[in-house]
Amino acid sequence: PVYFRILSLLNLRPPHLMEFSRLSIEGMPVSKRKIKPLIEQGLVSGFDDVRLPTLRGLKRRGIVPEAIKQFVFQQGFSKVESIVDFSLVESVNRKYLDPRVKRYYFVPDPVRLVVENAPKRTVKLPLHPNASMGDRTIHTASTFFVPRQDVQKMKAGDVFRLKGLYNVKITETGDPVRASYVGDEIIPESAKIQWTTEETIPLKIIVPGLLFKGEMFNPESLHEMQGYSEKAVADIPPGEIVQFERVGFARLEKHNNDYIAIFTHK
């Protein structure tokens, strides 16, 4: 009332005021008052820390501007204090990324796979179901790297498919895993596993989690996923978002000569 009284005395046009509540995200502080102490105490790296819902943090994480805008429109204005889950942001972002980002193979926690009687192949794998986005060429021999978690679930005699290549049957578990080539025809019930050849790029994927659990800071809010990506990843410019098949979307960075990716979401 005092504000409007002053405007009236000064013959100034009174504006229309609309009040709405703050939109909060579960486990992620949105207030600079809460974020600044985290930076000062070294608990986060800065305003571009990928665990923060700042514009710089969201950009590094691979959240595109169109998704942020659409998310805000979906929430609308409310006078009721609301706390939303970050998965809502991810859901909107996924719709923008899925039709336009290229797909590659990344093998987390790799184990060597040696395939007996493996045919040497030169294969062209599509970068996306949309054929206009092109493909990449990979030369294969008898040695591959596959995810340890996948082959640990298998035993001698099990058959799986090297995705986009051919089928192999495990003859000996361990490290390396030994297998034999058993044909090209797709077997509907068999597992399909991503792979790399010996021409790989060591890659670390940084996986952000929730900064807070309740009111408590979560010291385990940042994880790392170590593994190998296919060689074609070395030609991708830093800042580009890709999809690692069976892993998720990630935004690529290069620090000195090391390749790093920020996990966006599945």
| 103 has a pLDDT exceeding 90 | yes
Burial grade of 113 (CB within 10 A; 0-12, 13-18, 19 or more): buried
d(CA 86, CA 223) in angstroms, rounded, equals 17
As a whole number, the mean pLDDT across the chain is 95
Read off the tokens for 232. 């074609």
Q: Stretch 37-58: mean pLDDT, rounded? A: 96
Considering only 4-8, 186-190, 223-227, which range has the smallest mean pLDDT? 186-190
Banded model confidence at residue 78, pLDDT cuts 50, 70, 90: confident
The arithmetic mean of pLDDT across residues 241-262, rounded, is 95
Sequence-separated (6 or more) residues with CB below 8 Å from residue 173: 151, 154, 155, 156
pLDDT beyond 90 at 53: yes
Say how far apart CA 262 and CA 61 lie, in whole Å.
Answer: 6
Q: What is the pLDDT of residue 47?
A: 96
The per-residue pLDDT for 21 is: 81
Identify the pLDDT of residue 81. 79
User: Who's near 184: CB < 8 A, 6+ residues apart?
Assistant: 166, 167
For residue 166, give the nearest of 103, 226, 221, 113 by alpha carbon: 113
**Average pLDDT, integer, range 197-204:** 96
- The DSSP 8-state label assigned to residue 36 in this structure reads H
Q: pLDDT, tens digit, for every residue of 212-232?
A: 998 899 999 999 999 999 999
User: Number of C-alpha atoms within 13 angstroms, CB side, residue 52?
Assistant: 21
Residue type, position 188, single letter: P
Q: Report the share of the chain in percent with pLDDT over 70.
A: 100
- Write down the pLDDT at residue 77: 80
Report the pLDDT value the prediction gives residue 197, as an integer from 0 to 100.
97
Question: Which residues touch 185 (CB under 8 Å, ≥6 apart)?
Answer: 167
Give the pLDDT confidence score for residue 155 in this predicted structure.
95
Largest CA distance in the chain: 92
